[in-house]
Amino acid sequence: MAREPWVDKEECTSCGLCVANLPDVFRMDEDYLAECYNPKGASEEEIQNGAIDVCPAECIHWK
Ligand code: SF4
């Protein structure tokens, strides 16, 4: 089964980078914290490179 990204919202600083890079995977919730709403919106490599590796708070992880 494919891995799914998960945002630790306790650590998210609302910078918006993951949403800007991968809008088909991440969005901001009602509290303006990032969440993964569509884990299949990009390849694992794209998620790794565009979100997990660049999140300044290092708060996006694989489940
Ligand atoms: S890149 Fe990280 S800190 Fe920035 S909005 Fe996404 S999860 Fe939050």
Confidence band (pLDDT; 50, 70, 90) for 2?
confident
- Give the chain's largest Cα–Cα span: 31
Tokens 């990204």: give the residue: 5
Residue 1 predicted with pLDDT over 80: no
Neighbours of 56 (CB within 10 A): 10
Angle (CA) 12 22 37, round 5°: 70
Domain boundaries, the chain: 5-62
| CATH number for region 5-62 | 3.30.70.20
- Closest Cα to atom 1, ligand 1: which residue? 55
Q: How far is the CA of 56 from the centre of ligand 1 (A)?
A: 7
What residues have CB less than 8 Å from 23, skipping those under 6 apart? none
Q: Decide if 47 contacts 5 (C-beta within 8 A).
A: yes
**pLDDT at site 56:** 98
9-56: per-residue pLDDT in tens? 999 999 999 999 999 999 999 999 999 999 999 999 999 999 999 999
The tens digit of pLDDT for each residue in 45-60 reads 999 999 999 999 999 9
Tell me how far apart the alpha carbons of residues 28 and 36 are, in angstroms, rounded to a whole number.
Answer: 9
CA of 18 to the centre of ligand 1 (A): 6
Rounded to two decimals, the pTM is 0.95
Quote the ligand 1 centre to 1 CA distance (angstroms).
Answer: 25
